[in-house]
Amino acid sequence: MSAPTVTRGQDTAPRSRGEQVASAPLLQRLAGSPWSFLLPFLLVYGAFLLWPLLRGFWLSFTDTALNGSGGAFVGLANYAEALGDPMMWNALGNTAFFTVISTVPLVLIALAMALLVHSGLPGQWLWRLSFFLPFLLPVATVALVWKFLYNQDFGLINQFIGFFGGEGVGWLSDTGVAMWSIALTTVWWTVGFNFLLYLAALQSIPDHLYEAAAIDGAGAWARLRSITLPQLRGTTVVVCVLQLLASLKVFDQIYLMTMGGPQDSTRSLLLYVYDVGFTGYRFGYSAAVSYLFLAIVVVISIVQLRLAARRRA
Amino acid sequence: MVQRSHDGAGPPGAARGQALLSRRRLLQGGLAGAGALALGGLLGGCGPAAGPGGSTVRYWSLFNGGDGALMERMLAEIAEQAPHLRVEPTVLAWGAPYYTKLAMASVGGRAPETGIMHLSRLAGYAPGGLLDPFDLGLLAEFGVGAEHFLPELWGRASHDGRHYAIPLDTHPLIVFYDTGTADRAGLLTSEGALRAFESPEDFVEASRELAEASGDNGVAFGHVNDDAQGWRVFFSLYSQTGAAMELPAGGPAVFDPDAALRVFTLLAEVFDGETSSNRLDYQTALAGFSSGRSGLLFCGEWELPYLRDAVPDLGVAPFPTLFEQPASYADSHSFVLPRQSDPDPERVRAAHEFVALMVRASLTWAEAGHVPAYQPVVESAAYRGLGPQTDYAASAENPALEPAAWFAGAGSDFQSDMGSVVQTALMGAGPEAAVDQLDRALSNWVARTNPTEESA
Amino acid sequence: MAVDTATRPAPPGPAPRARAQRGETARRQRSLVLGPGPVPRILGMAALIAMAAIWLLPMVWAAATSLKTEQDAVALPLSWIPETGFTLEQYRAMFAEGDVQLWMFNSLVIAVAVTALTVVVSAPAAYAFSRTAFRGRRTLFVLTIAAIMVPPQLMIVPLFEQMAALNLVDTYAAVILPQLVMPVIVFILKRFFDNIPRELEEAARMDGATNWRILVSVVLPLSRPILAATSIFVFITAWNNYLWPFVVITDPALMTLPVGIPNVLDSYGTVNAMQMAQSVIAAAPMVIVFMLFQRQIVRSVATTGLGGQ
């Protein structure tokens, strides 16, 4: 890739304005050229994105360890191992499952919230506070509070169920339930972001569309279906893209609430990358898993962009 | 929280250790002071706190709950004995998070001067150069040497002829019981101690009686989402059958599937989900036992200080012998020196002095329930006079020690894999499937190569 | 003015408006969306109240628990008001320990530095992409946009290795530097700059101002709303970032608030009421900031969240 070298190419850049004098000292010429504007960004881009990206790619072909030992080229061995690693597939499956069960409510509930708040009912400040505030909480708070709520014994939720005579649920200890619990926490935590995006989109729908419909005698439900939802289609596409990518990268709340348990039922792909690399010391293998993951992310992004483009067309 | 905590409801607000980080102390006035500090913080902020004196000892541990409280007391004692040592203690989450951080700190170059490590983890750290060896001459200056430890224990602390760990204790798995409940269940001897069990069936029967006597749960065993408890209990019982387990690098793994099946079957029978819950996590098991909802608890002796306060009629006993021979899982907390990329001789010396002082002060530590490693303390009259600790002292005579392997040890992925095998036996596909899973997991682990060992 | 359109999608329209006028708008909107009858209004209100209650409950419960003793926190049956009354014991113990203040300070330093430096790094780049011509501009811009797709979380291993090699593990710099690469901010700013009429710059250019001068004295002042929006967005992201600070900081004295609280323990263990007190304190700065600047934060998220659309 060319990004690191372009910073050296400043003297070949055409001068868009005539202010630079060809014989001026390099530094002075640089100061006025477009490259001087790009330099800081290209430096951090090169050093902290491009370099680790390339370095990680190289690592994925070696057996480098956390303590720097190893480092020998092993070809595609790491990739072959990853493709035959049941733990990797389990993590991939968990990630996909989480992505589905979190994305759907994160979009639908956000939409419902936005529609309700947008209706102009009194208490706007309170609704926005209630729905968006959790998004601003650090994950430490979110995880601690929800672990407390989920506690099998003295957690608020099971106590509430018990109050009505129900059987307590092993929210974080039952392999079939734990990922749903993580998703529930995630919805509570981050739905406010999507809610705001929808709210902003709703507020930019011109009033006259509704007024015209009202004159035509369309009821509230008809207006929602024929005006509001179609107008929100673009936003929905973007929200879905953002949400999908965010859900695929899930790490924080899982690490803090279950550490991937019980029985690896909540171990996400990113958690597996961390475990293999830092807890298991295998930088090379961890990098290979990262790259498989990156490939998935890129494919999904491209497919989504294609779909979005087609829909717009 | 992530960590397998040792505590349900410890008493905060007791005297805090005095050796707090200097920057911490500066900030104690609250955030109001932070503004004034901002400049200094920014200027000095790009490096770790560079203490002015050379005798700062940063000390990492994974002790909380009752252990943590006693550790604070020991630190306070050391602060009095050796005021020239500035000890900055940090308690991190137990298990994999702790060991991951310790390794990353060593690699990062700014590791703490000393830290606690389970002896069972040494095989995974020493060969990879993540630890610095102790200078035994220096340690002798401060009055600690090989002659003060049981040779077997001391031997486990070295690697390639170098000495990487100084043991502080041995800590076996034991059982706690409520004497009232156990009495109602008819499980006490005439002297009021837990009776011996003749067979696995006898224990299953006893667990039913305990459930009836407690009115809720018979035996409490918190293993769900736990990275160690399942393995500790399994390995204790497995060792009781007399079967061997060997995990040589490169394989093949040696284990006895029939013995493992006996263990899983017994566990599944006891923890049937009716009389004894099969799905407790560590905290819930502890909380349930301490509030009288369970009659007996499988746990480590490290919960002694907490349970002694919480349960009025607490009984303690060695882990019961249910198969052919007595055995209970045991490990040792020991001091290590995480690798320093740029060791400061002054600090290294201070770290040695600190470790020696701590080991010699382990009488206090024994109150946490642990059996001290430092023999002069064990032989002292003061130790022999310690209350319930003597009730399970026998455990230390039959320790089931983890097979030495680079991947094994307290809080390792290996242990949590083993825990998930136990969960399969109790909550999943059952004992037979658990044996298959065990077989697969063991072969899998021995087939791996230690990534940190220099290969090329 | 075109400048305004880029921030316009944000609720709720032009800044301070009279209460009565706002009420009028709301009424109109209500009848437009819900129709005239009272039934949908009542149903909508009930739904909102129910949802808000569910969303607020965890926070209120955490706050209530933080004011209990440890015994009361897990005493069954649970109760909102503890038998022995509320107590500040947890907060006293926590502040006496001193860690939380230290982490809060670290978080603040890091989030402020990330925010300021990200803007300093991104704004000139956005200007170059928007206003200057040079060979390779298109390619570079595509590369920048493509980088939005790369989740930084996937690079923790090579980044950690890099920081170890630079001897930066356990420094503020190690936490800050990788967070400065925010291609999406460059993208948002460029789109905004594109909408600033060039005529506004021409006068300055006539006076012989250089590109830098124009950026600093013409473009940036006109971009205040988008700069505020992106800064708020970057700040929130940096303040709550977990994975990278967690990976690169091992020294508890340098940890940020989200990293320190769950990873460094009190010697007395994971104690429930104490944890809730820590949670409340960790949440407090953002809650207060949100209450004070709700409008700005909402607008920031709405504008930057969709990549400036």
In a domain, A48, yes or no: no
> pLDDT band at C190, cuts 50/70/90?
very high
CB contact under 8 A, A141 and C62: yes
Task: Confirm or reject CATH 3.90.245.10 for domain B55-170+332-394, answering yes or no.
Answer: no
In a domain, C298, yes or no: no
User: B433, B270 in Cβ contact below 8 A?
Assistant: no
Please, which residues 222-261 of chain C have a Cβ atom closer than 8 Å to chain A? 236, 239-240, 242-243, 247, 257-259, 261
- Give me B302's structure tokens: 């490290």
Assign 3-class secondary structure to C14-67.
CCCCCHHHHHHHHHHHHHHHHCCCHHHHHHHHHHHHHHHHHHHHHHHHHHHHHC
In a domain, C118, yes or no: yes
Residues B378, B362: Cα–Cα separation, whole Å: 9
In a domain, C253, yes or no: yes
In a domain, A11, yes or no: no
CATH of the domain at A136: 1.10.3720.10
**Residue located via tokens 């709700």:** C294
Residues A124, A130: Cα–Cα separation, whole Å: 10
Read off the pLDDT of residues B156-202 as tens digits, 9 standing for 90 and up.
898 888 999 999 998 889 999 999 999 999 999 988 889 999 899 99
Residue B275 is given by DSSP the state S
Mutation site for B-interface testing, chosen from C65, C99, C250 by largest number of B Cβ within 10 Å = C250
Residues B295, B273: Cα–Cα separation, whole Å: 15
- The model's pTM is 0.84
Residues B204, B35: Cα–Cα separation, whole Å: 63
The arithmetic mean of pLDDT across residues A295-299, rounded, is 90
> pLDDT band at C58, cuts 50/70/90?
very high
Q: From C262, A228, C305, C298, select the one nearest B101 (Cα to Cα).
A: C262
Residue B155 at interface with chain C, using a CB cutoff of 8 Å? no
DSSP chain A: --HHHHGGGGGGSPPSSTTS-TTS-HHHHHHHSHHHHHHHHHHHHIIIIIHHHHHHHHHTTB---TTS----B-TTHHHHHHHT-HHHHHHHHHHHHHHHHHHHHHHHHHHHHHHHHHTT-S-HHHHHHHHHHHHHS-HHHHHHHHHHHH-TTT-HHHHHHHHTTPPP--TTT-TTTHHHHHHHHHHHHHHHHHHHHHHHHHHTS-HHHHHHHHHTT--HHHHIIIIIHHHTHHHHHHHHHHHHHHHHT--HHHHHHTTT-STTTT--HHHHHHIIIIIS--HHHHHHHHHHHHHHHHHHHHHHHHHHHHHH-
Query: How many domains is chain C partitioned into structurally?
Result: 1
Please, which residues 70-109 of chain C have a Cβ atom closer than 8 Å to chain B? 70-71, 73-74, 89-90, 92-93, 95-99, 101-102, 104-105, 108-109
Amino acid identity of residue A49, one-letter, is L
Residue A152: which of B284, B451, B453 has the nearest Cβ?
B284
Q: From B175, B177, B174, select the one nearest B313 (Cα to Cα).
A: B177
Mutation site for C-interface testing, chosen from B22, B39, B46, B281 by largest number of C Cβ within 10 Å = B46
Residue C157: which of A56, A116, A140 has the nearest Cβ?
A56
Residues B56, B52: Cα–Cα separation, whole Å: 9
More confident residue, C36 or B213: B213
**Residue ranges per structural domain of chain B:** 55-170+332-394, 173-330+403-447
> pLDDT band at C270, cuts 50/70/90?
low
Q: What is the pLDDT of residue C92?
A: 85
Q: What is the pLDDT of residue A46?
A: 94
Q: What is the pLDDT of residue C269?
A: 58
Q: How, if at all, do strands B217-220 and B314-318 pair? A: unpaired
In a domain, C41, yes or no: no
More confident residue, C69 or A303: A303
Q: Is the pLDDT of residue C106 over 60?
A: yes
- Below-50 pLDDT ranges, chain B: 1-53, 455-456
In a domain, C190, yes or no: yes
User: Given a contact as 3+ CB pairs under 8 Å, which chains touch A?
Assistant: B, C
Query: How many domains is chain A partitioned into structurally?
Result: 1
For the four alpha carbons of A113, A114, A116 and A122, in that order, the dihedral sign comes to positive
Residues B301, B309: Cα–Cα separation, whole Å: 14
Read off the pLDDT of residues C225-256 as tens digits, 9 standing for 90 and up.
899 989 998 999 999 899 999 999 988 899 99
Q: What is the pLDDT of residue A208?
A: 82
CA angle at A211 for the pair A208 and A216, rounded to the nearest 5°? 130
Those residues of chain A whose CB sits closer than 8 Å to some CB in chain B are 63, 65-72, 143-144, 147, 151-154, 170, 172-175, 255-259, 261-264, 275, 278-282
- Give me A311's structure tokens: 């829909």
Residue C5 at interface with chain A, using a CB cutoff of 8 Å? no
Q: What is the pLDDT of residue B358?
A: 95
Q: What is the pLDDT of residue B256?
A: 95
Q: Is the pLDDT of residue C220 over 60?
A: yes
CATH of the domain at C163: 1.10.3720.10
More confident residue, B48 or C77: C77
Task: Confirm or reject CATH 1.10.4030.10 for domain B173-330+403-447, answering yes or no.
Answer: no
> pLDDT band at C307, cuts 50/70/90?
low
Read off the pLDDT of residues A50-101 as tens digits, 9 standing for 90 and up.
999 999 999 999 999 988 888 889 999 999 999 999 999 999 999 999 999 9
- Give me A268's structure tokens: 């996400």
> pLDDT band at C202, cuts 50/70/90?
confident
CB contact under 8 A, B92 and C264: yes
In a domain, C81, yes or no: no
Return the exposure string of A190-202: e unless at least 16 CB atoms fall within 10 Å of the residue's CB, then b.
bbbbbbbbbbbbb
In a domain, A288, yes or no: yes
Residue B128: which of A69, A71, A170 has the nearest Cβ?
A69
Read off the pLDDT of residues A110-149 as tens digits, 9 standing for 90 and up.
999 999 998 878 888 899 999 999 999 999 899 999 998 9
Q: Is the pLDDT of residue C209 over 80?
A: yes
User: Given a contact as 3+ CB pairs under 8 Å, which chains touch B?
Assistant: A, C
Range of the domain at C241: 98-267
Q: From B336, B345, B402, B331, select the one nearest B158 (Cα to Cα).
A: B336
Q: What is the pLDDT of residue B413?
A: 84
Q: Is the pLDDT of residue C204 over 80?
A: yes
Q: What is the pLDDT of residue C31?
A: 66
Residue A18 at interface with chain C, using a CB cutoff of 8 Å? no
User: A3, A45 in Cβ contact below 8 A?
Assistant: yes
CB contact under 8 A, B108 and C99: no
Chain B residues with CB under 8 Å of A71 CB are: 456
**Other Cβ atoms within 10 Å of C133 Cβ, number:** 12
In a domain, A46, yes or no: no
Q: From C10, C47, C69, select the one nearest C277 (Cα to Cα).
A: C69
> pLDDT band at C306, cuts 50/70/90?
low
CA distance B87 to chain C (A): 14
In the three-class reduction of DSSP (H, G, I as helix; E, B as strand; rest coil), residue B167 is classed as strand
Q: What is the pLDDT of residue C74?
A: 73
Mutation site for B-interface testing, chosen from A59, A66, A169, A252 by largest number of B Cβ within 10 Å = A66
Residues B354, B359: Cα–Cα separation, whole Å: 9
DSSP B433-450: HHHHHHHHHHHHHHHS--
Amino acid identity of residue B349, one-letter, is R
Q: How long, in residues, is chain A? A: 313
Residues B407, C130: Cα–Cα separation, whole Å: 55
> pLDDT band at C267, cuts 50/70/90?
low
DSSP A202-242: HHTS-HHHHHHHHHTT--HHHHIIIIIHHHTHHHHHHHHHH
- List residues bridging with A36 in a β-sheet: none
Q: pLDDT > 90: what percent of chain C? A: 39
Chain A residues with CB under 8 Å of B106 CB are: 67
Q: What is the pLDDT of residue B436?
A: 95
Residues C25, A294: Cα–Cα separation, whole Å: 47
In a domain, A54, yes or no: no
User: B358, B167 in Cβ contact below 8 A?
Assistant: no
For the four alpha carbons of C237, C241, C243 and C246, in that order, the dihedral sign comes to positive
Residue C155 at interface with chain A, using a CB cutoff of 8 Å? yes
Mutation site for A-interface testing, chosen from B92, B448, B452, B453 by largest number of A Cβ within 10 Å = B452
Chain A residue at shortest CA distance from C236: A136
Residues A81, A64: Cα–Cα separation, whole Å: 15
CA distances from C267 to B152, B155, C241 (A): 31, 31, 26
Helix H or strand E segment including B315: strand B314-318
CB contact under 8 A, B413 and A280: yes
More confident residue, B351 or C80: B351
Residues C85, B257: Cα–Cα separation, whole Å: 56
* Helix runs in B241-379, H state only: 257-270, 282-290, 304-310, 345-360, 362-366, 375-378
Q: What's the whole-number average pLDDT of chain A?
A: 85
First to last CA, chain B: 40
Residues A142, C285: Cα–Cα separation, whole Å: 15
More confident residue, A305 or B72: B72
